[in-house]
Structure 1
């Protein structure tokens, strides 16, 4: 059954909302990898939540998010790849998204190039967004890892 509130959204407003949410998804990883990690909190609503069920982590509220992401080790080098970002605008002020993530990370980085590494994490984010005072923000972000660091310990595949 079609959602009448969803169908009543102007196509241009829908497009702008989708693009704003996509931009938030990408800005999140840019701030972690290339900017000030604590500033990630600015992308969340005041009551925003970041969850990682596998690790049993939950951080709620903008100030707690700022402390959490700001505590990232200064010698950590990371690069995250975001793909398959699919945003669904549910109302004029709410949206959801799923996006795939791949993280490469080295702790203890000093300088120079790093030898090729396997990804540290491979999974997806499930996000909800809320438009507050005309600005789209993350309301919740849940991290789901399909493959993680433990994959490095798997034996090599046997030839068939």
Structure 2
């Protein structure tokens, strides 16, 4: 069993234990099962966010498109960038994968609001480290700190994907592009 599966199961057991005597709602679902479903969805969305950063940071940016819905929107206002559709987003990241660049994205403070069972809106704080050219090591200072605003949608296959990603720069260590 993978470590992530163990963590997920442990969390679900904890939630079930905490809510062992919860009453049924109008649909016949217990609060325990609703909490367990939401916890599983939160973990799946967090995993999606981590996978995005991992692919970018490990030279696999050309694989990022699969994390988006077919009609997704990606925006980066500081760059004047607005891409619509998985293909456009994929092309952008495939070009990026060819740049001699080392990055590390440190993502924290995931805040999620579920608007529907298969749709959530979230924000995350992102600290971005970047080194251009051959390396590392690079100077240990963040290139920027920003906030991602994201819409997550669960597809017919049960997988969560990005329907919208908007990068908003809050602090910059580099001049605006």
TM-score when normalising by structure 2: 0.74
Are residue 25 (structure 1) and residue 56 (structure 2) matched? no
1:27-49, Cα deviation, whole Å (9 max, x unpaired): 11100001410111110000011
How far has the Cα of 1:54 moved from its partner?
2.4
How many residues align structurally?
A: 142
1:122-148, Cα deviation, whole Å (9 max, x unpaired): 111010011111111110000011111
TM-score when normalising by structure 1: 0.82
**Structure 1 alignment gaps of length 5 or more:** 1-7, 152-160
SS at match of 1:12: helix
1:84-107, Cα deviation, whole Å (9 max, x unpaired): 112222211100111111111111
* From 79, 97, 106, the counterpart of 2:122: 97
> Rg: which structure is higher?
2
How far has the Cα of 1:149 moved from its partner?
3.1
From the two aligned structures, give the one with the greater helix fraction.
2
* From 67, 73, 84, the counterpart of 2:109: 84
**Structure 2 alignment gaps of length 5 or more:** 1-30
Which deviates more, 113-122 or 68-77?
A: 113-122
Q: Which has the higher contact order (CA 8 A, sep 6+)?
A: 1
The CA RMSD measured in Å over matched residues stands at: 1.8
How far has the Cα of 1:118 moved from its partner?
2.1
Where does structure 1 differ by over 4 angstroms across 4 or more consecutive aligned residues?
A: none
